[in-house]
Structure 1
Amino acid sequence: MKENDALYNFYIQILHEELKFATGCTEPIAIAFCAAKAKDLLGSMPTEVKIIASGNVIKNAKSVVVPNTGGLRGVLSAAAAGIVVGKPCLELQILNDVSDEQKQEIRDFLNNT
């Protein structure tokens, strides 16, 4: 397959349409994104969080550090980060820029929810 080949160009087009940038491991980022979207739909800060996901997502998210959270790990930390940051428009890059204040809010949310 060569760069000027129609099939090659078709493959490249599909890659551009389907691939998304993600910050860190995709499973905790996906959880953060879903949590932010849920908060957005709710219209306020949730007082309770219940996460239902496949075993593979849970397995891959339970022990990894959630990006830009100051070393927090796991599914609940990922959800809390998404809820606190709350920008679902950023999709899988939702945790690219977490302020120190937000990091503390994430910890507070985890301790109080």
Structure 2
Amino acid sequence: MNYIELLQAELRPAFGCTEPIALAYAAAKSVAVLGECPTSMTARCSANIIKNVKNVTIPNSGGRKGLACAAILGALVGKPERELEVL
């Protein structure tokens, strides 16, 4: 396998910074698996994810930032079938 084939097989498009999008995707996927919106969520994140999520704007959020906002948006309006383009 050459480098181009490897990149085409592994890379996925993302809408916005990947850290809040990954959190939103996880929340949207959990809603899909549960079949309903949970009453609470807990996200265990590395320090790097926390740092990046609180410093970048979440796409389609009206300028909002933060872990809670990314998770709530993912759970409420996320489309998990779109993967990292969830919002």
Q: Structure 2 length normalisation: TM-score?
A: 0.93
> How well do the aligned residues superpose, as a CA RMSD in angstroms?
1.2
> Where does structure 1 lack aligned partners over 5 or more consecutive residues?
1-8, 96-113
> 1:28-67 alignment to 2 at 5 Å?
28-67=20-59
Which of structures 1 and 2 has the larger relative contact order (alpha carbons within 8 angstroms, sep 6+)?
A: 2
**Matched-pair identity in %:** 49
Could you list the runs of 5+ residues in structure 2 that have no partner in the other structure? Answer: none
Q: Which residue of 2 aligns with 1:23?
A: 15
TM-score of the superposed pair, with normalisation by structure 1:
0.73
Counting matched residue pairs gives 87
Work out which of the two has the higher radius of gyration on C-alpha atoms and give 1 or 2. 1
Runs of 4+ that moved beyond 3 A: none
